[in-house]
Structure 1
Amino acid sequence: MDDKKILNKLISSVKEDSTRALGCTEPVAIAYTAYEAGRRIKDDKIKKLTISTSKSIYKNAKSVKIPNTKGRHGIDLAGAIGLYSKDLDIAPTLIFESLTEEILDKSLKLVDDGLVEVKYLENTPNIYISIKVETENSNVEAIVENGHTKLKEVLVDGKLVFSADEEKETEEKVDDFNFRDLSLEKLKAIVDQADPKDLMFTLEGIEVNKKAAQEGLKGYGSKLGKTLQGLRDKKIIEDNVLTKTRILTAAAADMRMGGGQCEVFTSGGSGNQGIGVILPISVVGKHEKISDENLAKALFFAHVLNKYVKEYSGKLSGICGCAIGAGVGAAAGIVYMLGGDEKQIAGACSNLYGNLTGMICDGAKESCSMKLSTCAEESVVAAYLALNGMITDDNVGVVGGSIEETILNVGKLSKEAFTQVDEVVIDIIDR
């Protein structure tokens, strides 16, 4: 496949996983799955709603607050809301925007009446949700798999009424295109050759996520962003590009994890990772007076690299995705934007892996803003270190002989070592 076709595939892939979303994407995914089941039931007399998920979805959806619910949370509530959202005419990632008082009241009653069962399953893809609805006159099951809004199938009274078009999915993966076949050198070369006009869509994420950050500074969730801002104003912490990066990413995450009603722009299908990719690059871009054209290229490169990492680690894992994916994408994007070469870009990624690999994901919650803001600030540090000649040694710890080998190593950790983390974390948070 020639470079132009690869670029077009990359653009389509980034657009699919980088979009507006309201609320944490795991409750969103549960609500969307329930919506797909609910719109096919024959009556409103619900006898039982059963929500079965992967461990990763369960862990991330259990405690995070849901927008427009007055600070409530819960997998059961997210599913009930989706079940009653039968006239969704917006993007699935914005399903909570359609939440009304009537829907919330009906959802809370369904939960309070004990009609919602929640459980997690063994041996599933890390993104897996099954919603079963039993009514007086019908039984419906909807399944989402391998993507937060990727509907796999729907069954009504045991009959398959929807199945993902396997031929189309296969067609999208053919033409000899596979993320794993691309090296960092190849990815950079493709982005170098791209017409900036084709990548300007990435700039929308800056506007969206800065707005989310400004809202978050009013004080949501753990109020980390607002508190850091206060410390800066008191001159307890420095007022510089690192602090600004940390404050804005913390504030945006505070808002999102605290159930705020402001959209964020995602990366790799994750809202927090969208914040972690976009805001560090935009803060440094403004500080360094980077043109919109170069900023768009840097953002695109960062989104692609975040997705590239997920090909090895999975979209959800026991390691914090902001540390091993979004932070790495941001570091690479910053070096690229500032004119760094391939060695410096790879070095910035290695610096971050040498620093933050091993940060566990213990579920989506308000304190995620602490991890996210740490990853965001360290992505900026890692980039500037690499640009100034400080790069962690090869073949030490998880850092391999090349950035591709390092990413492979981290993916191995995610899928072979950290698979037990979800189980242990669930045991802890279920006590």
Structure 2
Amino acid sequence: MTYTVKDLLRLEVAPALGCTEPVAVALAAAAAVSLLPARDFNSIDLWLDPNVYKNGLAVMIPGTGGLSGLDLAGALGAVGGDPTLKLEVLKPLTAEMVQQASAAVKAGKLKVHLLKDQVGLHVQARISAGGHVAEALIQSLHDNIVSLVLDGENVDSPLISKGCAPGKTGLDDLEDWLKTLDLHDLISLTEDLDEEDFAFLREGVDVNMRLADEGLRFGLGLGVGKTLERLARQRLIRKDMILSARILTSAASDARMGGAPLPAMSSAGSGNHGLTAILPIWAVKDYLDVDETTVLKAIALSHVITGYVKAYTGRLSAVCGCSVAAGAGATAGITYLLGGTAQHIAGAIKNLTEDLAGIICDGAKAGCALKLATAAGTAVQAALFSLHGVNVNFTDGIIGQSPEETMRNVGTLASEGMIETDRTILNIMLEKQFSDV
């Protein structure tokens, strides 16, 4: 089956309010509770795979005033979430709903179960209320509801992703198709963009820029972007193309990880991926004489390359996807924007991979802004290096002879080589969480 760039944008790029792991938990709870006569519940049980568990432990939930927790995410979804909004399920939240959800958590109505041996994204919510039991199952993608069950009977619902069964998503065929393409094919997809696509890509810029502006205005989260900007104003560091990309991208992550009630335009299932895939390119354009159409084509290429890498690494892993997947997309887009050829883009992807492949994912939290700052700056640097003839040789480490082989090697590293690393990261986080210190 053959796909178009429009198909890829439709399946891979979407608004997401809050970190997508707790959002997926909230979505499952909201979908389950929608089967019941009322939102009152006696108990909620959540079963989560290790990566969803890891990414949802510490990140703030938007609209809660800085609160966090997987149990709270489930309670919020059940109390006030709208499952028809998918990754924006928590948009309807009010202060009263947050209080209700917090009270349910304090009353011990929520239990979170870690499925230590589960491979792949898995979020299951079971809600007991008034003699009924409702269940929702999300698999493979954060908004991919594959089944709804009420009192042991399957329920047919428009909330269930079309054509999906447990373990299968509408994205699987697209990813299989992507894997058959080479870099020239991926670049050529941008030639098929139409006015509707350009409008959607511009919407993604606007959505993510609102987060960046929020981070720079209020210094939310860790305040990485605002601090970098302050250092530049004080002339302690110089604001150039690289620093501008770092400021914009990290500021948006600061706001998102800090619980700002604003959506991010995600890429390949992650809001932070979307920030990295879009914002460094938008920052670089201010230093160049380019029209908006060219900039949006570069952003489209970034989404394409990000999706290509994620097809190999999987949705969640021990490797920081913002660095190796969205970073690869960003450097490809920046190289394109700078007038580079396919050969230059290939070199930039290799340069970035050699630089960032070792960055681990230790869960979603305020500190992600530091990693996004690094990814954004390195994406610009890798592009500039490639354009000036600096290219990592294929004899180096995991770098392949082609960019496609390099990206496949990243996938092997993430999906096979770092399984034990992922377990160790989660164990460290769990020991810290339950420590009395």
- Normalising by the smaller structure, the TM-score range is over 0.9
In 2, Cα distance between the equivalents of 1:139 and 1:398?
A: 49
For residues 137 and 232 of structure 2, the distance between their equivalents in structure 1, rounded to whole angstroms, comes to 47
Given residue 15 of structure 2, which amino acid in structure 1 is its aligned partner? R
Bigger shift: 336-345 or 168-177? 168-177
CA drift at 1:135: 1.8
SS in 1 for 2:189: helix
What secondary structure is seen at the aligned counterpart in 1 of 2:108? coil
Displacement of 1:126 in angstroms is 2.6
The corresponding residue for 1:35 is 30
* 312-321 vs 262-271, which moves further: 262-271
Q: Bigger shift: 72-81 or 412-421?
A: 412-421
Deviation (angstroms), 1:141: 1.0
Distance in 2, Cα, partners of 1:322 & 1:47: 39
Residue 184 (structure 1) aligned with residue 169 (structure 2): no
Residue type of the partner of 2:61? I
Q: Per-residue deviation at 1:43?
A: 4.3
- Tell me if the contact between 1:46 and 1:136 (Cα under 8 Å) persists in the aligned partners: yes
1:126 corresponds, among 112, 120, 125, to 120
Q: Is the 8 A contact 1:199 1:296 kept in 2?
A: no
Q: Which residue of 2 aligns with 1:72?
A: 67
- Change in CA separation of 1:32 and 1:408 when aligned onto 2, cut-off 3 Å: same
**What CA distance in whole angstroms lies between the structure 2 residues aligned with 1:134 and 1:96?**
21
* Aligned-partner Cα distance in 1 for 2:193–2:379: 26
Q: Secondary structure at the match of 1:222?
A: coil
TM-score by length of 1: 0.94
The one-letter amino acid paired with 1:97 is K
Q: Which runs of 4+ in 1 moved over 4 A?
A: 167-177
Which residue in 1 is equivalent to 2:208?
209
The 1:165–1:213 alpha-carbon spacing in structure 2 relative to 1, beyond 3 Å, is closer
* Deviation of the 1:89 alpha carbon: 7.6
Q: CA deviation at 1:424?
A: 1.3
Decide whether aligned partners of structure 1 residues 349 and 40 sit closer, same or farther in structure 2, where only a CA change above 3 A counts.
Answer: same
Deviation of the 1:167 alpha carbon:
7.2
Tell whether the 8 Å contact from 1:245 to 1:279 is kept in structure 2 after alignment: yes
- Counterpart amino acid of 2:55? N
CA offset at residue 47 of structure 1? Answer: 2.3
Amino acid of the structure 1 residue aligned with 2:35: R
2:3 to 6, 16, 39: 6
Displacement after TM superposition at 1:176 (Å): 11
2:324 is aligned to 324
Q: Which moved more, 1:361-370 or 1:386-395?
A: 386-395
How far the C-alpha of 1:98 sits from its partner, in A, is 0.7
Gap runs ≥5 in structure 1: none
In the other structure, the counterpart of 2:403 is: 403
C-alpha root-mean-square deviation of aligned residues, in Å? 2.0
Determine the C-alpha separation between the residues in 1 that align with 2:140 and 2:175. Answer: 21
- Residue equivalent to 1:16: 11
Aligned residue-pair number: 424
2:44 matched to which residue of 1? 49
- Cα shift at 1:331: 0.3
Q: Which residue of 1 aligns with 2:54?
A: 59
1:307 matched residue in structure 2: 307
1:102 aligns with 2:96: yes
Q: Which amino acid aligns with 2:71?
A: D
Which of 172, 183, 199 does residue 197 from structure 2 map onto? 199
Deviation at 1:65, TM superposition (A): 0.3
Matched to 1:326, the amino acid is A
| 1:396 positional shift | 1.6
SS in 2 for 1:91: helix
The alpha-carbon distance between structure 1 residues 415 and 255, as it changes in their structure 2 partners (threshold 3 A), is: same
Report if the CA contact (8 A) 1:348-1:385 is conserved. yes
Going from structure 1 to structure 2, the CA distance change for 1:195 and 1:92 (only over 3 Å counts) comes to closer
Percent of residue pairs identical: 34
CA–CA distance in 2 between the matches of 1:171 and 1:91?
A: 18
SS at structure 2 position matched to 1:365: coil
**8 Å Cα contact 2:8/2:174 also seen in 1:** no
Counterpart of 2:163? 166
Give TM-score scaled by structure 2 length.
0.92
Q: What is the Cα deviation at residue 366 of structure 1?
A: 0.4
Q: Deviations over 1:1-33 (max 9, x none)?
A: 6xxx532xx322222321222211111111011
Residue by residue over 1:168-202, the C-alpha shift from the partner in whole angstroms, topping out at 9 and shown as x without a partner, is 978886699711111111112332x3245353121
**Cα distance in 1 between the residues matched to 2:329 and 2:193:** 20
User: Residues 6 and 193 of structure 2 are in contact (CA less than 8 Å); yes or no, is this contact kept in structure 1?
Assistant: no
Aligned to 1:359: 359
Instruction: Specify every segment of 5 or more residues in structure 2 that has no aligned partner in the other structure, as ranges.
Output: 432-437
Post-superposition offset of 1:269: 1.6
Change (3 A) 1:49 1:245: same
Moved more, 171-180 or 76-85: 171-180
Q: Which moved more, 1:333-342 or 1:193-202?
A: 193-202
1:198–1:47 distance in 2 versus 1, CA, 3 Å: closer
**Structure 2 CA distance for partners of 1:422 and 1:272, relative to 1, 3 Å:** same
Once residues 119 and 183 of structure 2 are traced to their aligned partners in structure 1, the CA distance between those partners, rounded to angstroms, is 27
Residue 427 of structure 1 deviates from its aligned partner by: 1.2
Contact 1:125–1:145, Cα closer than 8 Å, also in 2: no
* Aligned residue runs from structure 1 range 405-420, under 5 A: 405-420=405-420
Q: Distance in 2 between matches of 1:276 and 1:167?
A: 29
The aligned amino acid for 1:236 is: L
- The aligned counterpart of 2:129 is 135
Structure 2 residue 373 is matched with structure 1 residue 376: no
The one-letter code sitting in structure 1 at the alignment partner of 2:79 is Y
Preserved contact between residue 215 and residue 226 of structure 2 (Cα < 8 Å): yes
